[in-house]
Amino acid sequence: MKKKGKASGLDTFVSMPDADIRTLGVFALKGDAGPAMEIVRSFALAHPEVRICLNGYLRPHAGKGLRAYSDAYLGSKVDALLSLGGDGTFLTAARLGHAHGIPVLGVNLGRTGFLADASLENLATILNELLRREYSLRHRIVLQVEQRRGNKVIFRDIALNETAFAGLMGGQMAELEVKANGQVLTGYRVDGLLVSTPTGSTAYSLSAGGPIVHPSANSLLLTPMNPASLSVRPVVLPDSMELEVLNVTSGGHSLNIFADGRTRGAFRAGDVVRLSKHPARLHIIRPRGTSYFDSLRNKLGWTGDRDKRSVVVRPG
């Protein structure tokens, strides 16, 4: 059953998901999670019916209703994951959540974050809203990535934001040929090439001059990094297409592959990387009263008409 709230852009509504959250996983990788954990502990003591499971990094905060477990345990036993940190932490938590169909909520403990966009100041309220099912779920495209060398599969991986192909920045250009559904799209002579999801359009792609794509759009985005030709521009394609990226770099040089910032190893001359939409999407929890458009205005410092008056919303 869904309960719709006042619309404020395409991404705002309040839903009532069918399943109660009775086991909550809390995930962090670095930084000072102490203030957030005090809020989580207070929530756990007030609601003993909700089981709180911490990952290994948060083990020092265990006790008084909180217990630490392995990532494998969190992946198989919790109803939702709470990511404490920045977008990097969220991406790691998202891999765990995607593998097991677990929704993920990101609480930003760093600076600008498009994925971890809930604030520490609102965490206590958000936790109680989760208990009352007063939140919405967003279903985000995930890339599946497969590198082949002849008939041999070198690796398979997933990416929520993007897969990047890059040479040695400033010292080696990457020469790539890209096919879409078996047809040649174009050749690239670039410092790097990004294949992004709509979610990833506000990550490295945005820094490289790519457009912002609403995360509900059914599309994939190719963004060249420092192309040798000014005619090479970002391209938006339907997410139903399967892309193939072939390394044709002169001299037989290997390139690097990154999936959401993780180095995946050598992309040798003649290797092919296939990218396509994963059949399963990642479920992201969006707290009540927030919207994607609000997030853009806050993170990018855009102006906007709120309550019929123009205001400037600054990052912070």
Would the CA dihedral through 68, 263, 282, 313 be positive or negative?
A: positive
Q: What residues have CB less than 8 Å from 97, skipping those under 6 apart?
A: 75, 81, 103, 104, 282, 283
Give burial (CB, 10 Å; 0-12/13-18/19+) of 308: exposed
φ, ψ for residue 100, nearest 5 deg = -120, 10
CB 268, CB 256: distance < 8 Å: no
State the first-to-last Cα distance of the chain, in angstroms, to the nearest integer: 35
Active site residue 87: yes
Please give the Cα distance from 99 to 95 (Å, whole number).
Answer: 6
Please give the Cα distance from 248 to 267 (Å, whole number).
Answer: 10
Please give the Cα distance from 32 to 233 (Å, whole number).
Answer: 41
Q: Which of 87, 191, 260, 271 is catalytic?
A: 87
Q: How many CB atoms lie within 10 A of CB 282?
A: 23
Sheet holding 174-180, edge to edge: 152-159, 143-149, 272-277, 243-247, 174-180, 183-190
Q: How many CB atoms lie within 10 A of CB 303?
A: 10
| Among 131, 127, 112, CA closest to 38 | 127
User: Among all chains, which residue has been given the structure tokens 């008939």?
Assistant: 151
| Among 206, 180, 218, 176, CA closest to 193 | 176
> What are the catalytic residues?
87
